[in-house]
Chains A and B, each alone.
Chain A
Amino acid sequence: GAVVSQHPSWVICKSGTSVKIECRSLDFQATTMFWYRQFPKQSLMLMATSNEGSKATYEQGVEKDKFLINHASLTLSTLTVTSAHPEDSSFYICSARIRESYGYTFGSGTRLTVV
């Protein structure tokens, strides 16, 4: 089945540093990748939609200069959390849709802790 590989699984970083999260579609081409964030006991919240070869679409309230998204190829999308702060600590998950009416496949998630 379609797999999205997400790395790293978890990362602890110091406040002020930047962290890059990668998502790769292993056996299909993902023209669109969705990036979500999930705080404890809360729902997945869509942050942005990345489209291969074009600028990402950010949801309201998500700072595009802080959460840099690059979707340079059909199999790779990256999310960089710049100048991370403790409030950015969260579970970040990417997702892609394989085909119409099939649903979405998710990366395994990245647990970011900023200290």
Chain B
Amino acid sequence: RKEVEQDPGPFNVPEGATVAFNCTYSNSASQSFFWYRQDCRKEPKLLMSVYSSGNEDGRFTAQLNRASQYISLLIRDSKLSDSATYLCVVIPNSGGYQKVTFGTGTKLQVIP
């Protein structure tokens, strides 16, 4: 099983739709989780951290399910500008040497 797995998509959704992605991780000791957005041929940019209690930032909601070992990202009222690849990031521990593992990314295409 891969350390971090994502459905690569692409997810094609109409403007205004609500879309959700999941990301599963294999290391139950993982401590920190993030969602990044990567536009074509650009560097990844932090979208949001994922907290145990779940967190929301505008149209974006991130959740963590430790029991099932997955994190999710929900995007409401999709905009054309949301079209990008969304990467989940998992970090196994909170100190010392930290190996960051990226998911392969889920491609989202918002259609007019």
Interface residues of A (CB under 8 A from B): 34, 36, 42-46, 49, 57, 91, 93, 95, 97, 100-109, 111
Task: Report which of B43, B89, B97, B99 forms a contact with A93, defined as CB distance below 8 A.
Answer: B43
C-alpha gap A45/B102 in the complex (Å):
7
A44-B44, A95-B100, A111-B41 known, 13 other contacts, Cβ within 8 Å: A43-B103, A43-B104, A44-B87, A44-B102, A46-B101, A97-B98, A103-B34, A103-B49, A104-B46, A105-B46, A106-B45, A107-B43, A109-B41
Nearest Cβ on chain B to A10's Cβ, whole angstroms: 10
CA A100 – CA B104 in complex, angstroms?
A: 24
Query: CA A104 – CA B47 in complex, angstroms?
Result: 11
Contact call B32/A101, Cβ cutoff below 8 A: yes
> Does A100 lie within 8 Å of B105, measured CB to CB?
no
A-B contact count (CB 8 A): 48
Contact across chains for A49 and B97 when beta carbons are under 8 A apart: yes
Neighbouring B residues of A95 by C-beta, 8 Å: 100
Residues of B at under 8 Å CB distance from A? 32, 34, 36, 41-46, 49, 87, 89, 94, 97-105
Separation in Å of the B76 CB from the closest CB of chain A?
22
- A100–B31 Cα distance when bound, in Å, is 11
A106 contact set on B, CB distance < 8 A: 43-45
Query: Judging by beta carbons under 8 Å apart, are B46 and A109 in contact?
Result: no
Closest CB in chain B relative to A97 CB, distance in Å: 8
How far is A106 from B38 in the complex, measured between Cα atoms in Å?
Answer: 11
* Ranked 3 nearest A-B pairs via Cβ: A43-B104, A106-B43, A103-B46
Q: Can you list 16 A-B contacts with CB-CB less than 8 angstroms, sorted by A residue number?
A: A36-B102, A43-B104, A43-B105, A45-B102, A46-B100, A46-B101, A49-B97, A57-B97, A91-B41, A95-B100, A97-B98, A104-B34, A106-B44, A108-B42, A108-B43, A109-B41
Q: Which residues of A contact B97 (CB under 8 A)?
A: 49, 57
A106 to B44, CA, bound (A): 7
B47: nearest chain-A partner, CB-CB = A103
Measured CB to CB, the nearest residue on chain B to A34 is B100
